[in-house]
Amino acid sequence: MRLFAAILVSLFIGCPVAAQGGAANLVIINADVRTLDRDMPKAQALAVRRNRVIFVGSDAEAQELIGEGTQLIDAGGKLVMPGFNDSHVHFMAIGNKFSSLNARELQRPEEFYEQLKFYVRFLPKGRWILGSGASKELIAGLKAEEIERIAPDNPLFIYAANPSEAIANSAARKLSGLADAKDSVTVREIELARIARIVPTDHIRRWAEIAETASNYAASYGITSVQDTDSDARADVYRELAAAGKLKTRVYDCSSLSNWFTKQTPPLREAPEKMVRIGCLKGFHEGDDEWTPRLREQVLAADKAGWQVAVHAIGAKPNSIVLDIFEQAVRANGKRDRRFRIEHAEGILARDLRRLGELGVIASIQPHLFGRGAGYASGYYEDLVVNGASAALGSDAPMTAFDPLLGLNFSGTTGGFSLVDSVRGYTFGAAYAEHTETEKGKLLHGMLADIVILSQNMFATTGLQTSGAVVAMTIVDGKVVYERK
């Protein structure tokens, strides 16, 4: 069954439903839609107008929304669900993974070509592909025309293990005023020096290019939102990228709690549908008692000002202290819908668990990173939820793989998440953790059209079937941003 997307040239002449507000921009039919809503968990079809879901229901009803210019997607029975929302990433670091290509491990030309293709898939046109370590044997087997075919639009400059020689493509040569590669794979001496001179010295700090790379990569995994807990304060970069129409991922950008100044007022929560939002501050506690008074002071002040506060804690003691501080903040600043977060929330003592629920704390967990991926059934995560914490799932990429399918944590046995709860943690639960659950995380009328189509239906098979499940299509803000070729 092949997924196809086609612009339907319409035979449509004013049907009553479409007449109210016009036809849909995008309609998905013949799908196994999982809305993640308890009242209406399944549907066949879905329609989008601009950036919102305007209909979820049957194929027959969806026909009424198809008009001139509607993009019609026949899902071929595939699984359609809300896009993944990774609640803990270091987004620029994910993009920066593509800033250098380590050729040391690549022995055969095919391996090099594969790696190059992988980079080119995600890098914006014009971004340099830099690297080092290419062996003599590898270089001897490379063909210039194959490199040109794979990377026509990205200047390529990769040093050999002996750095008196480097692989360079035509794009790199042209930029430095040299003639085309023709059939030579490498440059030496004067040519090498000319290219080396024009390589951007700020390559690993070209944030717009790096963010675009990360966003392209996210789209390939069906990730439509990320919560950037890196505290590098790059919201402006993301906003510029969004304004240029190049951001394919919604970003909730957290800043550093310790660099926060009391003068700064937090943003209002008026725009949960925006591509880029701020509003959260992230701190740490790693168990050092001396750190506690300062953290307490910062958390109380930031909470009082209205920021959402997230604190990294791993292990019994840090989690206990952070929960103490959260309690003190509630006592000092009064009850409200503040949604404190503990990032990682690993190793909380049984006697501390009930406080999660009492304080309404979000457990921002990364099952894959902590070795408790699919099938893990010790019951720890379930305990968090039973005690009233709201679970938000994420990866902590690039510390670990970005693929959300690896981070789904569920088990058929008692004590583990159910598949639905696990998926919910990576969608609705993650949206709740960033105050956007009225807009994202479910496919219902009025929600943002952030959607993933998976070519393997984990809900329709028994047990864990995520390995090999691949993303067929990713839709963000009503637009198709990724389609598997």
Q: Which residues bind Zn ion (CB under 5 A)?
A: 396
Q: Which helix (H) or strand (E) holds 6?
A: strand 4-7
Question: What does the buried/exposed string (b/e) look like for 185-216 if buried means 16 or more CB atoms within 10 Å of the residue's CB?
Answer: bbbeeebbebbeeeeeeeeeebbbbbbbbbbb
Select 54 or 392, whichever has its Cβ closest to Zn ion.
392
Select 395 or 411, whichever has its Cβ closest to Zn ion.
395
Answer left, alpha or beta for residue 478, where phi above 0 means left and psi between -120 and 50 means alpha. Answer: left
**Shortest distance, position 369 Cβ to Zn ion, whole Å:** 9
Residue length of the chain: 485
- Which one-letter DSSP state was computed for residue 329? H
**Shortest distance, position 309 Cβ to Zn ion, whole Å:** 16
Select 74 or 396, whichever has its Cβ closest to Zn ion.
396
Determine contact, residues 85/226, Cβ cutoff 8 Å: yes
Select 64 or 396, whichever has its Cβ closest to Zn ion.
396
Select 382 or 396, whichever has its Cβ closest to Zn ion.
396
Sign, Cα dihedral of 478, 269, 388, 347 = positive
**Shortest distance, position 90 Cβ to Zn ion, whole Å:** 6
Q: What gap in Å lies between CA 258 and CA 318, rounded to an integer?
A: 17
Determine contact, residues 454/79, Cβ cutoff 8 Å: yes
**Shortest distance, position 366 Cβ to Zn ion, whole Å:** 8
Select 212 or 396, whichever has its Cβ closest to Zn ion.
396
Distances (CA, A) of 431 to 110, 225, 428, 441, 467: 41, 9, 5, 6, 25
Backbone angles phi, psi at 434, to 5 degrees: -120, 25
Select 239 or 344, whichever has its Cβ closest to Zn ion.
344
Q: What gap in Å lies between CA 255 and CA 232, rounded to an integer?
A: 6
Q: What gap in Å lies between CA 51 and CA 136, rounded to an integer?
A: 52
- Which one-letter DSSP state was computed for residue 379? S
Select 43 or 226, whichever has its Cβ closest to Zn ion.
226
Select 303 or 343, whichever has its Cβ closest to Zn ion.
343
- Which one-letter DSSP state was computed for residue 43? E
**Shortest distance, position 217 Cβ to Zn ion, whole Å:** 17
Q: Among 89, 77, 385, 109, which Cα is nearest to 217's?
A: 89
Q: What gap in Å lies between CA 330 and CA 356, rounded to an integer?
A: 13
Select 185 or 278, whichever has its Cβ closest to Zn ion.
278
**Shortest distance, position 211 Cβ to Zn ion, whole Å:** 17
**Shortest distance, position 357 Cβ to Zn ion, whole Å:** 24
**Shortest distance, position 202 Cβ to Zn ion, whole Å:** 25
**Shortest distance, position 23 Cβ to Zn ion, whole Å:** 43
Residue nearest to Zn ion as judged by C-beta position = 396
**Shortest distance, position 363 Cβ to Zn ion, whole Å:** 14
Sign, Cα dihedral of 21, 26, 31, 35 = negative
